[in-house]
Amino acid sequence: MKRLISKILAGIGITIVAIPVLLIALFVVIEVVGYVANHAATDKQTKELTAYIEKFIEDATIVDSHSFTGNTSGSGNHVECESMVTFNSDMAEDEVDRIFDAKYEYRELEKTDGSYIITVYGDAPFPDNIEGH
């Protein structure tokens, strides 16, 4: 009888210790999956932006591309996907802006030294990921 009670108490003790450990492990796995998914979404957004430029701006020459995943606004706790592509083109700035207006709602277009810099912001699949804090 004593053995049975001690086995039951040992099982209860192991369960009490194991539940928090499992919950912490689950949290870490979810955060890692979110991190990977957010970065994959940003890379995809940057590739799509580059392909969009090459398709709709005939004389475009891609100079550089950059992507960032994290909190881009500095306020709040959320993750965003930022893609920045620098390209050369002889098109007028208002024409280029109209091309991007057709597809991208959240964007910034800047022209410096004959090059255009387009920055596009998108939503992350896991916006509440730890990376945004």
* Structure confidence at residue 133 (pLDDT): 65
Stated pTM of the model: 0.83
Distance CA 111, CA 13 (A): 65
Q: Give 50-81 pLDDT, tens digit per residue.
A: 999 999 998 999 999 999 998 877 767 789 99
In sequence order, what are the residues at sequence separation of 6 or more whose Cβ sits closer than 8 angstroms to the Cβ of residue 63?
Answer: 86, 87, 88, 115
H-run or E-run covering 50: helix 2-56
Q: Give 18-55 pLDDT, tens digit per residue.
A: 999 999 999 999 999 999 999 999 999 999 999 999 99
Q: Give 84-116 pLDDT, tens digit per residue.
A: 999 999 999 999 999 999 999 999 999 998 899
DSSP bridge pairs for 112: 115
